[in-house]
């Protein structure tokens, strides 16, 4: 990291819509703030399980609110996130494990594609409401993100390899160590200690804490 920059880590999973909002907002802030933004793909399912957290929509009133909230947030952040009435069934019926392993494999081999690839996964799932769990769909997303067929194929083959599985597990464990219980989990390393911020709506507070 360059001198004097605050390292800000974003732990995210592409199944999480609020993670998309935080991702896009932080991508904008990194041009204005003196931060070194680091993307940390992790597995939301693992975090929920380890902390005993439940998806917001398990509480119907909260689910109702979340649909409206996402609509307002998408408009506010100008992110093409579109909620559909059965959005929660859509999430519940999808495991992001394969996608997050694929993203992790790219992070390990060609990190320059991490940002566009992650964005394309959100686009596909949260804007186009298409599948992100089947191998052929992972390849479509990778192609959209500008990866060659060769690179994508290599990443696909790495998905079931111990190094990739371990890397995703380790990143998820790291998020838990910082106190994460959901996503996005934003960790700012400032004044010699980590500061955890949960959600996409704590960025003013983050800025304030790190002197921005």
Catalytic residues: 16
| Token couple for 55 | 């998806």
Backbone angles phi, psi at 40, to 5 degrees: -125, 85
Cβ distance 140 to 177 under 8 Å? no
CA pair distance 179, 135, nearest whole angstrom: 32
Beta carbons of 186 and 38 less than 8 angstroms apart: no
Residue 115, token pair as written in the block = 């940002």
Structure letter (DSSP) for residue 124: I
Pick left, alpha or beta for residue 199 (phi over 0 → left; psi -120 to 50 → alpha; otherwise beta). left
Which among 191, 110, 194 has a CA at the least distance from the CA of 154? 110
Rounded distance between C-alpha atoms, residue 27 and residue 75, angstroms:
17
């Amino acid at each position: 990291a360059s001198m004097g920059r605050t390292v800000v880590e974003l732990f995210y999973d592409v199944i999480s819509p609020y993670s998309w909002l935080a991702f896009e907002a932080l991508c904008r802030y990194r041009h204005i703030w003196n931060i070194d933004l680091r993307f940390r793909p992790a597995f939301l399912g693992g975090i929920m399980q380890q902390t005993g957290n439940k998806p917001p929509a398990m509480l119907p009133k909260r689910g109702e609110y979340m649909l409206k909230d996402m609509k307002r947030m998408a408009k506010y952040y100008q992110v093409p996130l579109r909620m559909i009435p059965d959005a929660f069934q859509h999430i519940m019926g999808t495991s992001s494990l394969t996608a997050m392993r694929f993203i992790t494999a790219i992070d390990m081999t060609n990190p320059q594609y991490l940002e566009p690839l992650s964005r394309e996964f959100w686009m596909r799932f949260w804007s186009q409401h298409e599948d992100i769990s089947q191998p052929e769909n992972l390849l479509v997303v990778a192609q959209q993100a500008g990866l060659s067929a060769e690179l994508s194929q290599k990443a696909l083959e790495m998905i079931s390899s111990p190094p990739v599985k371990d890397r995703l597990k380790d990143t998820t464990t790291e998020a838990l160590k910082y106190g994460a219980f959901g996503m996005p989990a934003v960790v700012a390393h400032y004044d010699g200690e980590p500061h955890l911020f949960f959600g996409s709506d704590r960025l003013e507070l983050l800025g304030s804490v790190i002197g921005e």
